A and B are shown apart, each in its own frame.
Chain A
Amino acid sequence: MSDEVAPILSVKDLTVEFPTDDGVVKAVRGVSFDVRPRDVLGVVGESGCGKSVSSMAIMGLLPKSARITGSIKFRDRELIGLKPKELRAVRGRQIAMVFQDPMTAMNPVYRVGWQLGEAIKAHNKHFDKKQVRSRSVELLNMVGIPQASTRVDNYPHEFSGGMRQRVMIAMAIANNPDVLIADEPTTALDVTVQAQILEMLIDLKDQLDAAIVLITHDLGVVAGITDRMQVMYAGKVVESGTAEDVFYTPRMPYSIGLLGSIPVHTQDPAAGARLKPIGGAPPSLINVPPGCPFSPRCPLSDGTLCETVDPPLLRVGPGHVAACHHSDELAAMEDPLRLFSATAVPE
């Protein structure tokens, strides 16, 4: 997507902090990104990097204790600081969300039709029972639930995990949202089901003209289906660009580390079969040390600049930004993936 199209969702300098007994957790530390209409934005990073918290902030679903600063604009309308009632009109209508675990995301005591109907009714008060029901069946058909007209009367526990996630997606698209945030939508599912769900999400995006923010820790999930990708680490965006940019010309060692963590299927056990893990663990978000947050784990760290100055996101190509003092070195490398040496992984 070209940069000229006005973004539908625009996040600027978003920070989220949680006061805890041990100190203030800085979960999101200045995140900015734009989502354009019909765009698919992939957000990748490991657990605790702030990707879910960012999406919850957009939905206004963070606990009251969270301190949020920055700006979240939906079509030029500021969402931070909206009154609960105004926010409810956006939630599920303009921006909808699909959650990670379909096993617990649905209320076990109500039929799926009831729960779908609730989502429809929340933004279509004038619908009567018949309209709500036929719309529910229509939605279940859209997400590929067989025998939707009878399944609508089933309880969540009567569905498999993949089918439940389909129902969750049906709930999210009930009001034709403009932005669909999918937070690890396939993580809790069987590998065979994952591909079906992703394929369906992309199908629906085209049908509904919606933009999708796909949050995942699995680069394999975003490969091939996202237009733009951003890599997050320790509450910050560390690299952002087209999927091709990040996959083929990564300019931030952490992105390279993530790429090296994808299992590669090969017939020859000697060639590239071993995973190349990133050593160490992400920093504590309570006392974030100065400098690049990735420097303690980074093979390129120079020990001086990297540990004192946090690198800003700088342009490394058209529409491609990275936060690394040594991105030029990476650009010069023949095979940057060799940055993390292979360590023995039990076969």
Chain B
Amino acid sequence: MFSFIVRRILVSIPLLFLASFIAFILVVNTGDPLEDLRTKINVPKGQIALQEHRLGLDKPFFERYFSWLTHAIHGDWGRTIKDKAVWDQISRSLGVTLKLVVFAEICSVLIGVTIGIISAVKQYSWFDHGATTGSFLLYSLPVLAVGSFLKFFLAIRLNRLLGREKNPLLKTIGESTANFCTVRKPQNCGLIPATTDFLTHAALPTLTLVLITFAGYARFARATMLETLNADYVRTARAKGLDEKRVILKHAFRNALIPVVTVVSIDFGGLIGGAILTETIFEWKGMGRVLVDAVTKVDPNLLLCWFAVTAIAVVLFNLVADILYAVLDPRIRL
């Protein structure tokens, strides 16, 4: 197992280099970071040249790439076009995104897998039909629709109904209240008010993500569970005289868990890149927003750092998926 992990990490290194090179080609061709400056009138040529030099735009492609790479390996991710440290912005956004996706993913998996198992065990029952229809409906709804519906119809109306327009119960903007804990408002400083503030902000975007994600897991869990429920070893378990609960949980579910865990961990790697639409609707400054901002403003260093972080996350969680697979299935030896 240990040698497998070391080997996989070593294999990942050239993969990440390749990914960084492809990302660099894409970023370089995204557009001109200084277009704003160039189209403005009365900007002295010297200033443009200075900015070009600062961002390294005056150097040839490969020199730019290797210069960026050497700095990145040393932990220096460069500065944005507005001359701020890229890493500060990315790490802050990563924290925001993690707060959103970790909880949402856990909820989605728990709800989805539970529904999937019950659906499979009670195949063609009213529960199964209801869950299948419901999850298909949610699965096919665009996140934009779900998010906007929750924000405008549920939250804003609910807040108005409760007469709390000033201090809404369900916050629809941002990941925390601005200037929440200051010298002037010492009662807001502490774990409990901070947690409450976070939860009221996180409720809607988390719900949005859960609603559009759990359905997929429910479908997947149902399918794998139906397969294992019809497996020969489940019949053997019943023939031993075991009770149905044990047959379902210890035999069918234990085996259905293997593909589900693999899919969930790979999915999780992809979530690090941020939930672009959800973050936009609820104005969270997470990784998704960073990507949108960086693309619209053509901010090369920011984009490259975003790519690097998400690429590492994908590689890492693929490794986690492989390890979990080996842990859950004794036939796989790493």
Q: Footprint of B on A, CB under 8 Å? A: 59, 61, 84-85, 88-93, 96-97, 99, 101, 104-109, 118-119, 122-123, 155, 157, 168, 171-172, 174
Q: Assess the B331–A59 pair: CB atoms within 8 A.
A: no
Q: Assess the B233–A108 pair: CB atoms within 8 A.
A: yes
- With both beta carbons as reference points, the residue of chain B lying nearest to A103 in the complex is identified as B232
Q: Which of B107-115, B209-217, B241-249 contacts A (4 or more CB under 8 A)?
A: B241-249
Q: Assess the B236–A108 pair: CB atoms within 8 A.
A: no
Q: Assess the B328–A61 pair: CB atoms within 8 A.
A: no
Measured between beta carbons, the chain B residues less than 8 angstroms from A122 are 240-242
Interface core residue of A59, A107, A108 (most chain B CB under 10 Å):
A107
Interface core residue of A97, A106, A108, A123 (most chain B CB under 10 Å):
A108
A118 and B242 contact, Cβ closer than 8 Å, known pairs A99-B236, A107-B255: yes
Report B214-237 CB contacts with A as 1/0, cut-off 8 Å. Answer: 000000000000000001110111
Whole-angstrom distance between the alpha carbons of A217 and B151 in the complex? 66
Whole-angstrom distance between the alpha carbons of A108 and B234 in the complex? 11
B235, B254, B329: which contacts A61 (Cβ < 8 A)?
A: B235
Measured between beta carbons, the chain B residues less than 8 angstroms from A174 are 240
Whole-angstrom distance between the alpha carbons of A203 and B84 in the complex? 83
| B326 → A minimal CB distance (Å) | 12
Whole-angstrom distance between the alpha carbons of A101 and B236 in the complex? 11
Whole-angstrom distance between the alpha carbons of A93 and B240 in the complex? 8
- With both beta carbons as reference points, the residue of chain A lying nearest to B234 in the complex is identified as A107
| Interface residue? B251 (CB, 8 A) | yes
A109 and B330 contact, Cβ closer than 8 Å, known pairs A99-B236, A104-B231, A168-B236: yes
Measured between beta carbons, the chain A residues less than 8 angstroms from B241 are 88-93, 119, 122-123
| B19 → A minimal CB distance (Å) | 35
| B120 → A minimal CB distance (Å) | 14
Q: What would 23 A/B residue contacts be, using CB atoms closer than 8 Å?
A: A59-B239, A61-B239, A88-B242, A88-B243, A91-B240, A92-B240, A99-B236, A99-B239, A101-B232, A104-B232, A106-B233, A107-B236, A107-B237, A108-B233, A108-B255, A109-B255, A109-B258, A118-B240, A118-B250, A122-B241, A122-B242, A123-B241, A172-B239
A93, A109, A118: which contacts B329 (Cβ < 8 A)?
A: A109
Measured between beta carbons, the chain B residues less than 8 angstroms from A101 are 232
Q: Assess the B233–A92 pair: CB atoms within 8 A.
A: no
Measured between beta carbons, the chain B residues less than 8 angstroms from A93 are 241
Interface core residue of B233, B254, B258 (most chain A CB under 10 Å):
B233
CB-based closest 4 A-B pairs: A92-B241, A91-B241, A104-B232, A107-B233
Interface core residue of B239, B255, B328 (most chain A CB under 10 Å):
B239
Measured between beta carbons, the chain B residues less than 8 angstroms from A168 are 236
Q: Assess the A108–B240 pair: CB atoms within 8 A.
A: no
A105 and B330 contact, Cβ closer than 8 Å, known pairs A84-B244, A89-B241: no
- With both beta carbons as reference points, the residue of chain B lying nearest to A100 in the complex is identified as B232
Measured between beta carbons, the chain B residues less than 8 angstroms from A105 are 232-233, 235-236
- With both beta carbons as reference points, the residue of chain B lying nearest to A168 in the complex is identified as B236
A155 and B330 contact, Cβ closer than 8 Å, known pairs A90-B241, A93-B241, A108-B255: yes
Measured between beta carbons, the chain A residues less than 8 angstroms from B255 are 107-109
Q: Assess the B238–A108 pair: CB atoms within 8 A.
A: no
Whole-angstrom distance between the alpha carbons of A84 and B238 in the complex? 11
B240, B250, B254: which contacts A171 (Cβ < 8 A)?
A: B240
Q: Assess the B239–A91 pair: CB atoms within 8 A.
A: yes
Whole-angstrom distance between the alpha carbons of A237 and B203 in the complex? 66
Measured between beta carbons, the chain A residues less than 8 angstroms from B328 are 109
Q: Assess the B240–A119 pair: CB atoms within 8 A.
A: yes
A85, A92, A108, A171: which contacts B331 (Cβ < 8 A)?
A: A108
Which of chain B's residues 276-334 have a Cβ closer than 8 Å to chain A? 328-331
Interface core residue of B232, B251, B255 (most chain A CB under 10 Å):
B232
